[in-house]
Amino acid sequence: MNEEQVWLEQARQGDKAAFGKIIEAYQTPVYNLAYRMLNNAGEAEEAAQEAFIRAYTRLDSYDPAHKFSTWLLSITSNYCIDQIRKRRALLLSIDEPLAPHPALMSDRSKGPEAQLMANEQQELVQSLLAELAPDYRQAVVLRYWYEMSYEEIAEVMDTTVSAIKSRLFRARRQLADVGMAMDLSPALEEVTV
C-alpha cells in the first residue's frame, strides 16, 4: 500500500488531516483544470474546493482499481461543466472581462519583464481556450496540461476514445483558425515537421 492509499484509507475513516495531505498533493492540478475551464480565479477556487469536498464525501464510491487523480479530475471537470451551463443560463459569457488569476498579477520571484511576458502568455492561452466549446476545452486542457492519453481523457469525460479524438481534432483546427487570424507563429526551431 503506497502513501496515497494510506491517506485515502485514513480519510475514509474520517481523518481530515489525512485528506489534507491529498489536498496538498492535488491542489495545483485540480485548481489549474478549474481555472482553464472557468477562466476566473474566484470561480476556479470555489470549483476546486467543491471538487475536494465532493471527493471527500464520496470516497466510498472511489474504486482503487483506477487512478485517484483521474477520479478527482473527473469530479472537477464535471463540476466545471455544470458551472458553465449555469453561467450560460444566467446569460454570462466567458468572453466577458473577468478577474485575472492572482499569479498573473504579481510574482516576486520573476523580474518585471519576465512577469509581464508570463502574464501575456497566460492571457493568450485563456483567450484561445475561451474560443472552444466546454467539452472541446476540457479535452484540450487534459491533453496538454495533464499529458493524458486519449484513453485517460475518455475515462475522465466518460465517453469513447473515438469521440475524444474527434473533439481534439476539431478543437485544434478551430484553434489553428484563431491562431492564423492572430498571426501566431512558432519559434523557428519548432517549424520543422
Residues that bind other proteins (CB under 8 A): 11-14, 16, 19-20, 23-24, 27-29, 31-32, 35, 42-46, 48-49, 52-53, 56-57, 59, 83, 86-87, 89-90, 101-103, 121-122, 124-125, 128, 140, 144-145, 168-169, 172-173, 175-177, 179-180, 184-187, 190-191, 193
Q: How far apart are CA 94 and CA 97, in angstroms?
A: 8
φ, ψ dihedrals at 109, nearest 5°: -75, -15
Closest approach of other proteins to the CB of residue 144, in Å: 4
Q: Which amino acid would we find at residue 164?
A: I
Other residues' Cβ atoms within 10 Å of the Cβ of residue 20: 13
Closest approach of other proteins to the CB of residue 66, in Å: 21
Closest approach of other proteins to the CB of residue 42, in Å: 5
Cell numbers 470516497: residue: 59
Residue 5: which H helix or E strand, with range? helix 3-12
Q: Which amino acid would we find at residue 166?
A: S
Q: Which is nearer to other proteins, 96 or 177 (CB)?
A: 177
Other residues' Cβ atoms within 10 Å of the Cβ of residue 147: 8
Closest approach of other proteins to the CB of residue 191, in Å: 7
